[in-house]
Chain A
Amino acid sequence: MSDCRRQWNREDELPVYFAGPITTGPNQRKSFGMFSSVEGAFESKTIDFDNYAVGRKGNRTPRSGSRERLLDTGDPMGKTTGGTRQGSDSESNAARDADESRAGVEVQVLFEKTNPNGQDERLLIRGGRVVNDDRSFFGDVYIEDGLIKQVGENLVVPGGVKVIEANGRMVIPGGIDVNTCLMKTYLGTQPVDDFLQGTKAALAGGTTMIIDHVTPEPGESLLEAFERWQEAADKRACCDYSLHVDIPLWNQTVKDELEVLVQDKGINSFQVYMAYKDVYQMTDSQLYEAFSFLKQLGAVVLVHAENGDLIFEEQRKILGMGITGPEGHPLSRPEEVEAEAVFRAITLGNRVNCPVYITKVMSKSAADTIAQARRKGSVVFGEPITAGLATDGSHYWSKNWAKAAAYVTSPPLSPDPTTPEHLHTLLASGDLQVVGSSHCAYSTSQKAIGKDDFTLIPEGTNGVEERMGFVWDKAVAMGKMDENQFVAVTSTNAAKIFNLYPRKGRIAVDSDADIVIWDPDIVKTITAKQQQSAAEYNIFEGLECRGGPALVLSQGRVVYEGGKLQIQQGTGRFIPRKPFPDYAFQRIKFRNQVSSKQGVTRGVYDGPVHDVTPTPKYITPSPSAKTSPTSHQPPPVRNLHLSNFSLSGAQIDDNIPRRSGHRIVAPPGGRSNITSLG
Chain B
Amino acid sequence: KIELDRLLIKGGRIVNDDQSFHADIYMEDGLIKQIGDNLIVPGGVKTIEANGKMVIPGGIDIHTHFQMPYRGTTTVDDFAQGSKAALAGGTTMIVDHVIPEPGTSLMEAYDQWRQWADEKACCDYSLHVDITHWNDSVKQEVDSLIKDKGVNSFQVYMAYKDYYQLSNSQLYEIFTFLAEKGGIVQVHAENGEIIAEEQARMLQMGITGPEGHVLSRPEELEAEAVFRAVTIASQTNCPLYVTRVMSKSAADIISQARKKGNVVFGEPITASLGTDGTHYWSKNWAKAAAFVTSPPLSPDPTTPDYLNTLLASGDLSVTGSAHCTFSVAQKAIGKDDFTQIPEGVNGVEERMALIWDKAVTTGKMDENMFVAITSTNAAKILNLYPRKGRIAVGSDADLIIWDTDSVRTITAKTHNSAAEYNIFEGMELRGAPLVVICQGKIVLEDGKLQVTSGAGRFIPCSPFPDFAYKRVKARKQLAVLRAVPRGMYDGPVSEFSMSRGGTPSASARTSPTKQPVRNLHQSGFSLTGPPTPDEVPIRPAGRRIVVPPGGRSNITSLS
Contact = CB atoms under 8 A, between A and B. Distances in A.
Nearest to A623: B200
A446 interface: yes
A315 interface: yes
A375 interface: no
A62 to B, nearest CB: 45
A666 to B, nearest CB: 11
Contacts of B361: none
B103 A194 contact: no
Contact of B71 (A400, A404, A615, A648): A615
A669 interface: no
Given A278-B507, A285-B193, A621-B200, A187 B287 contact: no
Interface in B515-559: 517-518, 520-521, 532, 534, 537-539, 541-545, 548, 555-558
Contacts of A449: 493-494, 496
B196 interface: yes
B496 A602 contact: no
Contact of A344 (B170, B173, B228, B232): B228
Contacts of A455: 503, 505-508
A188 to B, nearest CB: 4
A647 B284 CA distance: 36
Interface in A314-359: 314-316, 318-325, 327-328, 331, 334, 336-337, 339-340, 343-344, 347-348, 350-351
Interface string B121-165: 000000000000111100000000000000000000000111110
A217 B72 contact: no
Contact of B285 (A191, A281, A323, A605): A605
A592 interface: no
Interface string A639-678: 0111111111000000000000101110000000011110
A269 interface: no
A638 B510 contact: yes
Q: Which of A280, A348, A445 has the most CB of B within 10 A?
A: A445
Interface string B286-304: 1110000000000000000
B43 interface: no
B167 interface: yes
Contact of A622 (B160, B200, B541, B548): B200
B475 to A, nearest CB: 14
A534 B70 CA distance: 66
Interface stretch (B34-42, B305-313, B484-492): B484-492
A284 interface: yes
B333 interface: yes
Contacts of A78: none
Contacts of A453: 506, 514, 517-518, 521
A343 B173 CA distance: 22
A599 B72 contact: no
B330 A610 contact: yes
Interface in B239-296: 281-288
Contacts of B160: 618
Given A189-B494, A189-B496, A607 B164 contact: no
B517 A402 contact: no
Interface string B157-187: 0001111100111101100100000000000
B484 to A, nearest CB: 5
Given A288-B194, A343-B227, A347-B221, A315 B504 contact: no
Contacts of B340: 616-617, 620
A617 B197 CA distance: 17
Nearest to B290: A677
Nearest to A313: B172
A25 to B, nearest CB: 50
Interface stretch (B202-210, B382-390, B444-452, B461-469): B202-210
Interface stretch (B15-23, B211-219, B432-440): B211-219
A194 B542 contact: yes
Task: Tell me if A's interface is mostly helix, strand, loop or mixed.
Answer: loop
B481 interface: yes
Contacts of A322: 483
A289 to B, nearest CB: 7
Contact of A188 (B72, B281, B495): B495
B555 A402 contact: yes
A621 B503 contact: no
A68 interface: no
Contact of A457 (B204, B288, B327, B505): B505
A147 to B, nearest CB: 33
Given A188-B537, A402-B491, A448-B493, A278 B332 contact: no
A609 interface: yes
A169 to B, nearest CB: 34
A309 B520 CA distance: 25
Interface in A38-76: none
B514 A446 contact: no
A283 B196 CA distance: 13
Interface in A290-332: 307-316, 318-325, 327-328, 331
A284 B495 contact: no
A316 B205 contact: no
A537 B491 CA distance: 14
A619 interface: yes
Given A448-B493, A615-B71, A400 B505 contact: no
Nearest to B554: A400
B514 A316 contact: yes
Contacts, number: 376
Nearest to B101: A647
A642 B138 CA distance: 11
Given A318-B481, A410-B505, A610-B333, A597 B202 contact: yes
A318 B505 CA distance: 14
A190 B288 CA distance: 60
Given A319-B508, A320-B513, A599-B207, A402 B168 contact: no
B537 A621 contact: no
Contacts of B113: none
A608 interface: yes
A624 to B, nearest CB: 10
Interface string B327-355: 11110110101011010000000000000
Contact of A325 (B163, B169, B191, B484): B484
B558 A536 contact: yes
Given A278-B507, A448-B492, A599-B208, A336 B161 contact: no
A276 interface: yes
Nearest to B253: A343
Contact of A307 (B163, B211, B231, B514): B231
A189 B510 contact: no
A188 B541 CA distance: 11
A345 to B, nearest CB: 10
A288 B420 CA distance: 39
A30 to B, nearest CB: 41
Contacts of B163: 617-619, 645
Nearest to B489: A451
Given A449-B493, A677-B287, A187 B328 contact: no
Q: Which of B218, B507, B543, B556 has the most CB of A within 10 A?
A: B507
Contact of A310 (B70, B168, B198, B287): B168
A401 B488 CA distance: 9
B235 interface: yes
Contacts of A331: 481
Contact of B545 (A193, A328, A443, A645): A443
Given A285-B193, A619-B163, A310 B506 contact: no
9 contacts: A278-B507, A280-B504, A325-B484, A344-B228, A402-B489, A534-B544, A615-B71, A646-B103, A663-B327
Interface of B: 70-73, 101-103, 133-136, 160-164, 167-170, 172-173, 176, 191, 193-194, 196-200, 202-209, 211-212, 215, 218, 220-221, 223-224, 227-228, 231-232, 234-235, 281-288, 327-330, 332-333, 335, 337, 339-340, 342, 412, 420-421, 481-489, 491-498, 500-508, 510-511, 513-514, 517-518, 520-521, 532, 534, 537-539, 541-545, 548, 555-558
